[in-house]
Structure 1
Amino acid sequence: MFFDSWDGLLRVVVVGVCAYAALVALVRLSGKRTLAKMNAFDMVVTVALGSTLATVLLTSDVALAEGVLALALLICAQFAVAWTSVRLGLVRRAVKSTPTLLVWQGRLRDRALRDQRVSRAEVLQAVRAQGQGALDQVAAVVLETDGTFSVIPLNSAGDLDALDNVPDVPRD
């Protein structure tokens, strides 16, 4: 239960070092976007990479070469989807969400909060975290595609062109 053999431990060390080195090399080759905190698809790939690495390390039925191939396949699939989504709107809409406007000109947008399952308290926390003391000091709060909140204070809103890709922004 606590110890099977020295061979098992040695296998974990050798395969672990090799698999880790292969994963780092593959991630570096594929670019920064591979582990980006961008959307649900990126998170799924990150979790799958971790699960695959754990399987390679702890399951003696999986050879190192098979594990490295599985890691490479996941990274190549993520690269292909990211590359295609930049070029084709249909793919982009299928794998990426859109940002959601939660506050506009100091007013909460109740329907958007309900649709995104975000509470008023969460929005107020995001506003406070940006050093704002009241909603009327906020031009907009956006729930980004990665689940983070962006708070745009009125005093630095400018022409709000940063909201060009956010649906439902009132255009005057």
Structure 2
Amino acid sequence: MQSPPFRLTDWHRFLFGNASWHFLLEVLLRTCATYVLLVIAMRLLGRRVAAQFTLFEISIVVTLAAAIGVPLQAANRGMLPPFLIALVAVVLQRIIAAAGITHRRVETMISTDVTLLAREGRLEPAELARAAMPREKVYEAMRLAGWQHLGQISRLYMEPSGAFSFIPARPAKPGLSVLPAIDEELRDEARVPGCSACLQCGNTVQTDESGHAGDLRCDNCGSREWTYAVTEVER
């Protein structure tokens, strides 16, 4: 069946498609039913889904969205299939969540495990690579949390949800600055004489007063790129 020719004056087709305006009333009812379905489904999935998504929970939500989107606007699609898909998604999530309570391996297999990205002021290059996490993303998260350099943290974890958790170092030691390069004034103010930091991982070494590590090889990541280490600047 051929579609009718395109006409700029065909406002009915432009606004309603091939359906009559009465279908708008059905869309209203479908939307109300879908809203109730989503509220019930999210409530059954639990508070954890409403907080921060893991990879598995994102998959559940995307499945619900894909199942519900088409029947809202298609007159030839019924509402029973989305209800069945939502039911299966909720039951599957509840089963896996219950299994994860007693078997941690199930939880980590589905949602991944906590990743240790930094230890004692030094980044872990192998863990960063395994998590596909750029260093600048870590520095951004540190700045948002109020940190100025790597020496201020004892541990940096990436949670299964993708959020970052920090354990502060007590006391803090000089480290690699995470401040942006455009703020060179503050970075220079925090400089620690006689201490250099590896540009790749933040490992610190003692140097001469000039702060140059020369051709020294970092014993944590193997890099030969160095910069001055910094301390916290009170503002």
Q: Are residues 123 and 54 of structure 1, via their aligned partners in 2, closer, same or farther at CA, if it must alter by over 3 Å? A: same
SS in 1 for 2:22: helix
Inter-partner Cα distance in structure 2 for 1:61 and 1:35: 32
Higher relative contact order (CA 8 A, sep 6+): 1
How far is 1:156 from its partner?
Answer: 9.4
Q: In the alignment, is residue 132 of structure 1 matched against residue 147 of structure 2? A: yes
Count of matched residue positions in the alignment of Structure 1 and Structure 2: 157
State the TM-score, normalized to the length of structure 1.
0.80
Q: 1:1-22 deviations in whole A, cap 9, x for unaligned?
A: 5223213322211111112112
| Bigger strand share | 2
Q: Does 1:111 align with 2:130?
A: no
Change (3 A) 1:125 1:57: same
Q: Provide Cα deviations, 1:35-56, integer angstroms capped at 9, x if missing partner.
A: 4524211110011112222123
Corresponding position of 1:92: 107
Structure 1: any 5+ residue segments left out of the alignment?
158-172
Separation in 2, partners of 1:30, 1:98: 20
Separation in 2, partners of 1:110, 1:26 = 40
Structure 2 stretches lacking a partner, 5+ long: 1-12, 173-235
Q: Which amino acid counterpart does residue 101 of structure 1 have in structure 2?
A: L
Q: Name the CA shift for 1:14/1:156 in 2 (closer, same or farther; >3 Å).
A: farther
Q: 1:90 to 1:65 in 2, by over 3 A?
A: same
Q: Note if contact 2:44-2:90 (Cα within 8 Å) is conserved in structure 1.
A: no
- Structure 2 counterpart of 1:134, which letter? H
1:139 positional shift: 1.1
Partner of residue 25 from structure 1, selected from 26, 40, 43: 40
Q: Secondary structure at the match of 1:6?
A: coil
SS state at 1:133 partner? coil
TM-score scaled by structure 2?
A: 0.60
**Residues 37 and 43, structure 1, Cα contact 8 Å, conserved in 2:** no
Cα distance change on mapping 1:78 and 1:156 into 2, 3 Å: farther
Q: Which runs of structure 2 are paired with 1:41-52 in the superposition (5 Å)?
A: 41-52=56-67
The answer (yes or no) to whether the contact 2:119–2:155 under 8 Å persists in 1 is: yes
The one-letter amino acid of 2:117's match is L
Aligned partner of 1:161 in structure 2 is none
Identity of aligned residues (%): 28
Q: Is the 8 A contact 2:45 2:93 kept in 1?
A: no
Partner of 1:121, secondary structure, is helix
Q: What is the identity, as a one-letter code, of the residue corresponding to 2:96?
A: V
Partner of 2:97: 82
Q: How does 1:2-21 map to 2 (within 5 A)?
A: 2=14, 3-4=16-17, 5-21=20-36
Q: Secondary structure at 2:118's aligned position in 1?
A: strand
Following superposition, the deviation at residue 109 of structure 1 comes to: 0.9
Paired with 2:128 and 2:48, the residues of 1 have a C-alpha distance of 29
Range with greater deviation from structure 2 (61-70 or 117-126) = 61-70
Query: In structure 1, how many angstroms separate the alpha carbons of the residues matched to 2:41 and 2:137?
Result: 37
- Is the 1:36–1:42 Cα contact (8 Å) retained in structure 2? no
Higher helix share: 1
Letter of the 1:6 partner, please give it: W
RMSD between aligned residues: 2.2
Instruction: Sort the Cα spacing of 1:135 and 1:90 in 2 relative to 1 into closer, same or farther, 3 A.
Output: closer
Which amino acid counterpart does residue 44 of structure 1 have in structure 2?
A: S
